[in-house]
Chain A
Amino acid sequence: MTSPSNKNLPSLNEIDRLIHEPARLLIMANLYVLEAADFLYLMNQTGLTFGNLSGHMTRLEEAGYIEVEKSFVDKRPNTRLSLTDAGRRAFEEYRKSMRGLLAGGV
């Protein structure tokens, strides 16, 4: 995809595919502008179903991009999510790479 003249630009291989998936990108972007949010809030903002969000949350947590804190609020289970420093850096890196890639006219 990248022509030889574009060899200084980031290649597609450098794009973080874990973040690149639309639903996970949406989760990361939402968490990036916040300090923390709970599961219900993210469901409402992203439009993802419980199962979908739960699956993506697990993958992002395994990658060390988000921190998941489970607790009880008013005797109800509450799952609170926030970006880790690594997640924040990865998201910034992803945006930078994509910008470079798009600027190269891929």
Chain B
Amino acid sequence: MSDEIDLEEIERRAMKAYNEDGLLDIFIGGYLIFSGLKAFIQLEHRNILLSILPGLGVLLYNEVKKLVTYPRIGYMKLTKERRARIARDSIIVILIAAFVTFTGLFTGMGSPESAPWGVLLLNKFNLLFQGGVLAFIFFMLGKIMGVNRLYRYSVLSLLVFPAGYLYLDSPYMVTLRNMGTQCAIIGVVMVGYGVLHLRRFIVKYPKEA
């Protein structure tokens, strides 16, 4: 019987239950919308705002979790080791993605025609490259956190970014506006999907009187 106790499965179920509320989608989507829109609006200190936003988001996320999730499905805390592993792996993924993105952007931006063919190719197909990076982030976060929904956003990123070649004004140029538009579209889908999940979650688990 002991071999039938699948502890990994129990842990996976715990993570799934914890993220069933759709709040993760809403918060990540919200961040993508904001970071997408910042390419279009002139905000004072927008880069500072954008860099402190994830921290504020985490604080707000925890507060909303206390209000919405815990009273409905209860509270659980993963082991210290598991929490540390999730944090460490997530940071590694985001650092890799940030490094690749910035390297790609700076290599691709304003490259003259005489630039090496690799740079020109990256310049031409930068949307594919950016979509790939975002897809990688979602895929890895889905794997690390055990949230299967994130795999869908990985596929969505691979679809939305290349679709930009059909409707963006200058898709073959590396611009923050192109990236911002595509990020905002994915963000809107995520927030919408998250709200649907949240609605379903609230109906499924009514708050005890």
Q: Which residues of A contact B (CB under 8 A)?
A: 20, 25, 29-30, 32-45, 73, 76, 78, 80, 94-99, 102
Instruction: Find the B residue at minimum CB distance from A98.
Output: B2
Q: Which residue of A is nearest B75, CB measured?
A: A38
- Number of A-B residue pairs, CB cutoff 8 Å, is 72
From B14, B73, B80, A30 is in contact (CB under 8 Å) with B14
New A-B contacts (15) at CB < 8 Å, excluding given A38-B76, A102-B2: A33-B11, A33-B82, A34-B78, A38-B74, A38-B75, A40-B73, A41-B73, A41-B75, A42-B74, A78-B75, A80-B75, A95-B2, A96-B2, A98-B2, A99-B2
Asked if B77 and A25 make an inter-chain contact with CB atoms under 8 angstroms apart, the answer reads no
Report B78-111 CB contacts with A as 1/0, cut-off 8 Å: 1110100000000000000000000000000000
Point out which of B71, B77, B79 has the most chain A C-beta atoms below 10 A from its C-beta.
B77
Summarize A's interface: helix, strand, loop or mixed.
helix
B13 within 8 A of A: yes
Q: Which 4 A-B residue pairs are closest in the complex by CB-CB distance?
A: A41-B74, A98-B2, A40-B74, A37-B76
Interface size bracket, B side: 20 to 34
Bound-state CA distance A73–B69 (Å) is 14
**In the complex, A74→B134 CA distance in Å?**
39
Among residues of B, the one whose C-beta sits closest to the C-beta of A102 is B3
Interchain CA distance A102-B3 in the complex, whole Å? 9
B166 at the interface (CB under 8 A from A): no
87-142 of chain B: CB within 8 A of chain A: none
| Contact code string B1-41 (vs A, CB < 8 Å = 1, else 0) | 11101010011011001000000000000000000000000
Q: Which residues of B have CB within 8 Å of A44? A: 17, 73-74, 205
Q: A19 to chain B: closest CB distance in Å?
A: 10
B7 touches A37 (CB 8 A): no
Are A33 and B79 in touch, CB under 8 angstroms?
Answer: yes
Knowing A35-B79, A41-B75, A44-B74 are in contact, say whether A29-B3 is a contact too (CB < 8 A).
no
Residue numbers in A under 8 Å from B10 (CB-CB): 29-30, 32-33
